Structure 1
């Protein structure tokens, strides 16, 4: 192996190119090539991005995976013979240019001519028509979402931002839920089989009451798996309700059409699947206030009626008045007992329901089932072995009482 001094004094250092020098050399090769100065390219537009300096888009090979980045500068946009539409094929005239800052080449476009319907859009329409004819998108087959699910399954990538957004939203809206992740690949050639398998695992498990299929957006190529027939059939035949929360705003995927409910983002799916616990509390308080107002109004009405009856009784003889009052008091007493019993039963049931919901949120209830809360020496909850060392003193909160232990050994995840 050569030493640093040998390398510094060797002929290599005299002939080595800098990054800028290499980029300039490649730029000269490409831009001096006669054929590349004015070249016609045919392909399918897979994505577009309008910018104040122009429109950037990607042209892909309809028969393969090759793509090339293209740009139409703002001054050239009005001269185009056709508007760029995702999924459509075009014949593009331009020249190859190198972008030195990123060491990339792109096609600087002068003209765009229509070249027929894009293969991707054609396949999409053909598949959609066939599945629609089979009834996979019929509204009559859509399942109703459960009003208060306790177990929710999520099919997405465990490393995706969508999974974190869903967890955070569910925890804020309805603490205490059981959320199951059925992990899947949500991009690329392996994604359709992976997504269909993840849905099948949720059904086999049998605990979930509703399923969220989610991904945090992407280009047309990234979302192609949600137009795959395997994914659409897995959603349509799923025995529990499916919410599609795929992060896109423009195009409607076939997975959206097959799902029982479709929203545009993972967060929106999480907000839809469960009500807000705070909202439920406010609704309950409003019902209590409405019931109290109704009771007070009824009580005032009965008082007025009683005064009217008293005025009438004053005009009767004493015996008749007493007899009538006894009967009227008996009738009023029975009516009040019935009304009080009915309201008491309703209020008892409502309080029991709220007590059960609050019990699920009680940390002491979790501890009483055999779980324990571990705190470090400074009183913080220990959620991971990261940062722990042998001989650390920890405090363990049990269902009944607390103990102080010394850490002997840190075991692995399994």
Structure 2
């Protein structure tokens, strides 16, 4: 079928978005059935706003949901204040919200209808896993203090992945990050997360695993209460830290993880130390060592002066020799202690210097590696980002060269 867009009838009969929305609004608001309708369902999320109470009502099986609002003038008249997990019966009318093109239920009254099925299932699963010991504090493992390889399980399109990369790069440059992508919302999410964790374990390089998502509505986080995901986290062979991004609710995955925080950024901050903080700590140790040496030296000088004063009062050669022997022994002891502490401090300083040297990007270039940048300055990380004929700037250990892409292949190196 073809349309002649030059036909004046088409332009004369076309509706604006506001016109169409207003037409639909009239249909909904003039419908006798929708002016006063009773609906029953389970509250999946609730948010108190300055203008009223906004919440979502859904069927127990999660197949359908509707947004609801009880304005402040009506909230005090409700028999039952909607709360997450509760089953309620609502009397209200359908209204259309033109700005977003969405319909919602304006609530007049809410009556209790018992505990929601979703909340009941959550509590039953929580109690069963708790009885099995999956949440025991004794099973929680500490995070490694200085991990060199970290695995991240999240969606490649989520803001959480970008936040984690940015935080890790800022706090601990040179860290190796293994990304295991997963779907973190919807029916396919539980199995996807389980497979992503299994890939990390099979790889065997990661010392700690971050499982994250950038928050969302309660009903969108259902995968983190799925028994398969909870068991995968509890049985993971390496420590797991979760940063799901929801502060008001605690998922079962949070209970099973070794450490849980509220945001992906917080997880990245907790999993690695800050290199600048390590340098400050090292400087503090050096200062403490200098203070200790100065204190020992001052004490020895004071003791030596005491002995000299005593020798001035006692003229016996035998006592002088004894005091000289004691002084020599203490001097030798002081030298040994000072030498040992100085040697330990030197070794620790050399270790930190070597670590800083390995993290220096210029040092990597001096070993024969190169950095390839596109014309806009972005680093080329994958061959699929490049095109034949594209000009690139290659940064070497000494100087730079400009090259042109002659051929692009997607073959990857294998270990």
User: What TM-score, normalized by structure 1, do the two folds share?
Assistant: 0.91
Aligned to 1:70: 68
Q: How many residues align?
A: 408
- Seen in structure 2, the aligned counterparts of structure 1 residues 402 and 388 have a Cα distance that, compared at 3 Å, is farther
Alpha-carbon spacing, 1:314–1:258, altered in 2? closer, same or farther (3 Å): same
Is 1:404 paired with 2:401? yes
Task: State the match for 2:17 in structure 1.
Answer: 19
Give the match for residue 350 of structure 1: 348
Moved more, 173-182 or 48-57: 48-57
The alpha-carbon distance between structure 1 residues 17 and 364, as it changes in their structure 2 partners (threshold 3 A), is closer
| Equivalences for residues 13-412 of structure 1 within 5 A | 13-317=11-315, 319-320=317-318, 323-324=321-322, 327-374=325-372, 382-383=379-380, 390=389, 392=391, 394-398=393-397, 401-402=398-399, 404-409=401-406, 411=408
Asked whether the 8 Å contact 2:146–2:272 carries over to 1, the reply is yes
Note closer, same or farther for the CA distance 1:67–1:391 as it changes in structure 2 (3 Å cut).
Answer: closer
Alpha carbons 2:242, 2:257 under 8 Å: kept:
yes
Name the stretch that deviates more: 58-67 or 231-240: 58-67
Helix, strand or coil at the partner of 1:222? helix
- Cα distance in structure 1, aligned partners of 2:153 and 2:275: 24
Residues in 2 aligned to 1:189 and 1:322: alpha-carbon distance in whole angstroms: 90
- Is the Cα–Cα contact under 8 Å of residues 314 and 321 in structure 1 kept in the other structure? no
Contact 2:389 2:404 in 1 (8 A): yes
Q: Distance in 2 between matches of 1:324 and 1:381?
A: 76
Call closer, same or farther: CA 1:408–1:317 in 2, change over 3 Å: same
TM-score (norm 2): 0.90
- Distance of aligned partners of 1:275 and 1:413 in 2 relative to their CA distance in 1, 3 Å threshold: same
User: Secondary structure, in 3 states, of the residue corresponding to 2:25?
Assistant: helix
For 2:228 and 2:273, the matched residues in 1 are separated by 32
CA displacement at 1:357 relative to structure 2: 1.7
Go from structure 1 to structure 2 and tell me whether the alpha carbon gap of 1:230 and 1:52 turns closer, same or farther (over 3 Å shift): same
Paired with 1:201 and 1:375, the residues of 2 have a C-alpha distance of 31
Q: How far has the Cα of 1:330 moved from its partner?
A: 3.4
Q: Assess if the C-alpha contact under 8 Å between 2:392 and 2:405 holds in 1.
A: no
CA-based RMSD = 2.5
Structure 1 unmatched ranges of 5 or more? none
Secondary structure, aligned partner of 2:163: helix
Q: Give 3-state SS (helix, strand or coil) of 1:221's partner.
A: helix
Distance in 2 (CA, whole Å) between partners of 1:206 and 1:381 is 31
8 Å CA contact 2:293, 2:338 repeated in 1:
no
Deviation readout 1:49-68 (Å, 9 max, x if unpaired): 22222122211112351111
| 1:280 Cα deviation after fit | 1.5
* Separation of aligned partners in 2, 1:373 and 1:114: 64
Indicate if the aligned counterparts of 1:98 and 1:105 stay in contact, CA closer than 8 A: yes
